[in-house]
Amino acid sequence: MRALTIRRPDDWHLHLRDGDMLKGVIGDTSRHFARAIIMPNLVPPVVTTADAQAYRERILAALPKGDRFEPLMTLYLTEQTSPDDVEAGKASGLITAVKLYPAGATTNSHGGVRDLDKAMPVLERMAKIGLPLCVHGEVTTPEVDIFDREAVFIDTVLDPLRRRLPDLKVTMEHVTTKEGIDYIRESQHNLAGSITTHHLMINRNAILVGGIRPHYYCLPVAKREHHRLALRAAAVSGDARFFLGTDSAPHIDPLKECGCGCAGIYTSINTMSCLAHVFEEENALDRLEAFTSLNGPAWYGLLPNEERITLTKGDSPIKFPAKIETDAGIVTVFDPLVPLYWHVASS
Ligand code: NCD
Ligand code: ZN
């Protein structure tokens, strides 16, 4: 197959940041994607419906002229979040989901939740009104090894929460382990998982072999190869519970290339080429559309996009920039470590 036309994709987990960074990166998403779930971990975070409304307007104002793109807004769950504000946000159509960051789990998460009991009134309201909870599924307990944090989260936080609130719809975001995939597969209802582009392409060797490579460091951190293979199998399976969430997370180079580099990989610009490559390797190009354009909207109760994009496969590797320049600084683009031949020919 040399050409593939699919419904326009959506990105169910995206960091756009704010200000100059937002202006520098949004076009890389709006070029190919119709919608994205926008992460609320700004500094300070997006905690109220009013914050989300203002942020949405800044996103729309930053869009390149002529691009049509719908930001799907989320609220950053805190122990003080008001159930009424969340319900009003959903009722107005502004809020698509609420995001749980365990405090300290990742970039800009210090204001996240320490004691889930304190967030129960909001979670109960969300279960009642059918508003999904997006979860960064890692424990932050210092004793737990960083490579085990997702699996321990499932056993000690996620599963008890789902038993307590079976009506709560939960998206386990950026699943990185076979345990996560198996847990979603075994679930009967109200659980789905997003998978990033980079976790389908790299394992932890990319970060550590031959020198420390900060541009492959993200959270949850990439795991062993057998986990990557489990993610691939789930992504290409067509199972409606798995869909794309790139977790494209731009940071300027000096913040990644230093003694304590921050977590995040920037993939918006070449995600569709990477995914076509992965799905072709897995003989599953016919299921790419389910992963990028059908399963996500179905889970969030939205219609798939009517517009189409066409991917074509060239004879020589495509070129994309190694770095992009923004007014906030230079951002390194994800290097998938293999040549890519597919590109979005029309969108
Ligand atoms: C994200 C970021 O930079 O905001 N980083 C990352 O490594 N994925 C936060 C997150 O989603 O964990
Ligand atoms: Zn993220």
Question: How would DSSP label each residue in 209-262?
Answer: TTS--GGG--SSPP--HHHHHHHHHHHHT--TTEEE---B----HHHHSSTTPP
Q: Single out the catalytic residue among 10, 11, 239, 247.
A: 247
Q: What separation in Å is there between the alpha carbon of 314 and the centre of ligand 2?
A: 31
Give the residue from 295, 291, 296, 281 showing the smallest Cα distance to 338: 281
C-alpha to C-alpha distance for 133 and 92, rounded to whole angstroms: 18
Q: Please choose from 13, 17, 134, 218 the residue to mutate so as to test ligand 1's pocket, defined by most ligand atoms within 8 A of CB.
A: 218
Q: Going by C-beta distance under 8 Å and a sequence separation of 6 or more, which residues neighbour residue 51?
A: 40, 45, 75
Counting Cα atoms < 13 Å in the Cβ hemisphere of 4 gives 26
Q: Point out the ligand 1 atom lying closest to the alpha carbon of residue 173.
A: 11
User: Which tokens is 151 given?
Assistant: 């699996």
Mean of per-residue pLDDT scores for the chain: 97
**Which protein residue has the closest C-alpha to ligand 1 atom 6?**
264
Q: What is the pLDDT of residue 341?
A: 98
Mean pLDDT, residues 257-275: 98
Q: Point out the ligand 1 atom lying closest to the alpha carbon of residue 219.
A: 7
288 lines ligand 1 (CB under 6 A): no
Q: Please choose from 37, 107, 215 the residue to mutate so as to test ligand 1's pocket, defined by most ligand atoms within 8 A of CB.
A: 107
Continuous segment of H or E residues that includes residue 129? helix 120-129
Q: What is the pLDDT of residue 226?
A: 98
Q: What is the pLDDT of residue 25?
A: 98
Q: Please give the torsion angle defined by the CA atoms of residues 207, 185, 247 and 97, in that order, rounded to the nearest 10 degrees.
A: -150
Query: Ligand nearest 101 Cα, by number?
Result: 1
106 lines ligand 1 (CB under 6 A): yes
User: Which tokens is 224 given?
Assistant: 């062993």
C-alpha to C-alpha distance for 165 and 217, rounded to whole angstroms: 33
219 lines ligand 1 (CB under 6 A): yes
C-alpha to C-alpha distance for 316 and 212, rounded to whole angstroms: 30
Q: Which of 97-111, 182-196, 302-316 has the lowest mean pLDDT?
A: 97-111
Is 20 a known active-site residue? no
C-alpha to C-alpha distance for 278 and 274, rounded to whole angstroms: 6
Query: Ligand nearest 176 Cα, by number?
Result: 1
Q: What is the pLDDT of residue 108?
A: 86
SS3 label, residue 136: coil
Q: What is the pLDDT of residue 188?
A: 85
Q: What is the pLDDT of residue 111?
A: 87
Q: Point out the ligand 1 atom lying closest to the alpha carbon of residue 263.
A: 7
pLDDT tier at 1, thresholds 50, 70, 90: confident
Q: What are phi and psi of 14, to 5 degrees?
A: -145, 140
DSSP per-residue codes, 62-114: HSPTT---EEEEEEE--TT--HHHHHHHHHTT-EEEEEE-BTTSSTT-TTSBS
Q: What is the pLDDT of residue 19?
A: 98
In this model, does residue 347 exceed pLDDT 90?
Answer: no
Q: What separation in Å is there between the alpha carbon of 326 and the centre of ligand 2?
A: 20
Contact 24, 269 (CB under 8 A): no
Query: What is the percent of the chain where pLDDT is above 70?
Result: 100
Distance (Å) of CA 268 to CA 2, 25, 140, 160: 23, 8, 28, 34
Q: Which CATH number fits domain 3-346: 3.90.650.10, 3.40.50.970, 3.20.20.140, 3.40.1350.10?
A: 3.20.20.140
In this model, does residue 199 exceed pLDDT 90?
Answer: yes
Q: What is the pLDDT of residue 212?
A: 97
Q: What is the pLDDT of residue 194?
A: 99
Q: What is the pLDDT of residue 18?
A: 98
Reported as a single tens digit per residue, the pLDDT across 279-305 is: 999 999 999 999 999 999 999 999 999
C-alpha to C-alpha distance for 275 and 283, rounded to whole angstroms: 12
Reported as a single tens digit per residue, the pLDDT across 37-73 is: 999 999 999 999 999 999 999 999 999 999 999 999 9
Give the 3-state secondary structure percentages of the chain, helix then strand then coil, rounded to 5.
35, 20, 45
C-alpha to C-alpha distance for 34 and 122, rounded to whole angstroms: 30
Q: How many residues does the chain have?
A: 347
In this model, does residue 198 exceed pLDDT 80?
Answer: yes
User: Which tokens is 110 given?
Assistant: 């210090």
**DSSP 8-state secondary structure symbol assigned to residue 286:** G
| pTM for the whole structure | 0.98
Q: What separation in Å is there between the alpha carbon of 105 and the centre of ligand 2?
A: 11
Q: What is the pLDDT of residue 277?
A: 98
Q: What is the pLDDT of residue 331?
A: 99
Q: What is the pLDDT of residue 322?
A: 98
249 lines ligand 1 (CB under 6 A): yes
The position carrying tokens 């990742």 is: 106
Burial class (CB in 10 A: 0-12, 13-18, 19+), 347: middle
